[in-house]
Amino acid sequence: MELPGALSPPWWLLLLLPSGLLLWARRRPPWDPRKCPADLTGKTVIVTGANSGIGKCVAMDLARRNARTILACRSRERGQAAVEEIRAATGNPAVVLRLLDTGSLASVRAFARAVLREEPRLDVLVNNAGVTGLPFTITSERLEQTFATNYLGPFLLTNLLLDLLKASAPSRVVNVSSFRHSVGTADSGFLTGQRHPGGYDAAYSSTKLMNLLFTAELARRLRGTGVTANALSPGVVSTSIMRHFSWAVRALFVLLRPFIKSAEQGAASTIFCAVSEEAEGVSGKYFDSSCRLALPSAPARDAALARKLWEASERLTGLTEGPRG
Query: Which residue, among 127, 151, 149, 128, has the nearest Cα to 138 in the 3D structure?
Result: 149
Q: C-alpha distances in angstroms, 44 versus 85, 124, 181, 215, 274?
A: 19, 7, 30, 21, 12
Helix (H, G, I), strand (E, B) or coil at 172: strand
Q: CA torsion angle for 17, 19, 20, 23 (degrees, to 10)?
A: 160
Instruction: Please compute, for residue 74, the number of CA atoms within 13 A of its CA located in the half-sphere on the CB side.
Output: 15
- Residue 89 sits at φ, ψ, to 5 deg, of -75, -30
Cα(195)–Cα(150) distance, rounded to whole angstroms?
A: 17
Report the candidate in 170, 291, 164, 284 with the shortest Cα–Cα distance to residue 230.
284
How far apart CA 191 and CA 139 sit, in angstroms, is 11
Catalytic residue among 151, 200, 204, 286: 204
Task: Give Cβ neighbours of residue 9 (< 8 Å, ≥ 6 apart).
Answer: none
Three-class secondary structure of residue 211 per DSSP: helix
Selection from 159, 161, 131 nearest residue 145 by Cα: 131
Catalytic residue check, 204: yes
Cβ burial 253-262 (10 Å sphere, 16+ → b, else e)? beebeebbbe
Rounded to whole angstroms, the Cα distance separating 98 from 34 reads 27
**Residues 193, 138: contact at Cβ < 8 Å?**
yes
The residues assigned a catalytic role are 204
